[in-house]
Structure 1
Amino acid sequence: MPGFSFKTSWLAVRDRAPGEVADALGLHDREVLDWATGTDRAYRYGVYVAAPLPGWTLAHGRLHMPAGFDATEPPFPDWLSELSRHLGEVQFFANERVPDYHAWAKARDGELLRAYCWIGERGEVPLFVGDPTPDEIELGIGIRGMEPGREHWSDDEWIDWYATTPSEFDVMAMAGRWSIDPSRIDDATVTATGIYGLPPSVEHVSR
């Protein structure tokens, strides 16, 4: 199926060409691919940097965005911050239904401004950086981390806390607020080609 949104991870980069994003990601074994082919392949392997949409360039890869770790792990904040040092404003989004893994983050000019991640199967918020943004507050999601004293909470307090944890649809809502919700892209309107490639830590594979 053309397009992407659910069960994957992606970047939204403000006002940058696909080549600039591919360079910052260090992609090798590059190919120029159309939207349908590139997005489909990036669900299976590698990263596809799509042709720019108004104001934004999107890059996604289910396995390799980022490559070798995810938003719950220590390298993530530095990775996103370093990308933004080269690219300006960089946003990250991720959702995986089975582990209930949902994340979003924003960095600009080398500084991680905001990051949130929820792992439902573990009942944890392993990443909570910066203050909740007005969009999160308005939507009522991602606004609470792993607060002290949880072991003494009442059932009602736990219910209130869980009400702030996101679903995959909330990730799309956040993407739409901050940049572009990819689930709302009309695939037929993306006629320009993009760049597919592999991150530095990923070896070439035969197809």
Structure 2
Amino acid sequence: MQKMAWLAVRDRDPAAALGLTELGEVDWRSGVDLAYFTDDRVIVTPQLDGWVLVLGMALLKDRPDVTGLSATLGTEVQFFSSHRGLQVYRWQRARDGDLLRSFASAEGEIDELGEASDLERSFGELVDDGDVHRVAAQWSVDPGTVNVPVRVFSTGTVRPDVR
């Protein structure tokens, strides 16, 4: 996915904490299209190996506060985003209200917190959307490997206290 954002939440359904309104269930491809081509829809997967994914352009626009969300849900929350056209890539990992790792690269400028993994160090100075997916696969689930029915939600707007 050249341009997308998603959350991975361990063992919890984050829909209520994000203030989402359920609209129904669709197949994976239709859900990804909705998540990609609209900025007020997200899709939520069933649990996949202990993780629930929330995908949508709305998360790229209104980036969730992974630290606050992980504290609210009492679990691990991860955020990933890539925008190849703007050369902006990000991943974050928080557990029980503590930010463990944060990496952002915007047009080659890097901002990070926490220790990089061996995988991250192997990327070198320039990262791309494939690297975002590789980190997601190492930490939880890469949505590029998923093909399950998903629930579609309206964001209305992502709650301001969850940025």
Give the TM-score normalised by structure 1. Answer: 0.68
Q: How many matched pairs?
A: 155
1:84–1:107: 8 Å Cα contact kept in structure 2?
yes
Query: Is it true that 1:49 corresponds to 2:44 in the alignment?
Result: yes
Unaligned 5+ segments in structure 2 are: none
Q: What is the aligned counterpart of 1:31 among 15, 23, 31?
A: 23
Counterpart among 184, 189, 193 of residue 145 in structure 2: 184
Q: How does 1:58-69 map to 2 (within 5 A)?
A: 58-62=53-57, 64-65=58-59, 67-68=61-62
Which consecutive aligned stretches of 4+ in structure 1 deviate over 4 angstroms post-superposition? Answer: none
Matched, 1:7 2:3: yes
The Cα of 1:167 is off from its aligned counterpart by 1.0
Instruction: Encode CA deviations 1:111-137: one digit per residue, 9 max, x unaligned.
Output: 1110001012xx312x31112134323
Contact 2:19/2:158 (<8 A) preserved: no
Q: Provide structure 1 residue ranges, at least 5 long, that are not aligned to the other structure.
A: 71-75, 142-162, 203-207
Question: CA separation in 2, counterparts of 1:115 and 1:26?
Answer: 24
The 5-angstrom pairing of residues 85-100 of structure 1 reads 85-87=71-73, 88-100=75-87
Which has more radius of gyration? Answer: 1
Contact 2:93 2:99 in 1 (8 A): yes
Q: Which has the higher strand share?
A: 2
Alignment match, 1:149? none
SS, match of residue 165 in structure 1: coil
The one-letter code matched in structure 2 to 1:65 is L
**CA positional deviation for 1:38:** 2.4
What is the TM-score when the length of structure 2 is the normalising length? 0.84
Task: Give the residue type in structure 2 aligned to 1:59.
Answer: V
C-alpha separation in 2, matches of 1:180 and 1:52: 10
Per residue, is there more helix in 1 or in 2? 1
SS of aligned partner of 2:85: coil
The whole-number CA distance in structure 1 between the counterparts of 2:45 and 2:152 is 6
Q: Quote the Cα distance in structure 2 between the aligned partners of 1:81 and 1:6.
A: 26
Structure 1 residues 128, 179: CA separation in 2 closer, same or farther (over 3 Å shift)? same
Q: What amino acid is the match of 2:25? A: L
Q: Aligned partners of 1:201 and 1:15: how far apart in 2?
A: 21
2: CA distance, partners of 1:86 / 1:124: 31
After superposition, give the CA deviation of every residue in 1:155-203 in whole Å (9 maximum; x if it has no partner). Answer: xxxxxxxx32211111111111111111122x2xx14x4242215458x
8 Å contact 2:60–2:81 — kept in the other structure?
no
Aligned twin of 1:110: 97
Aligned partner of residue 21 in structure 1, secondary structure: coil
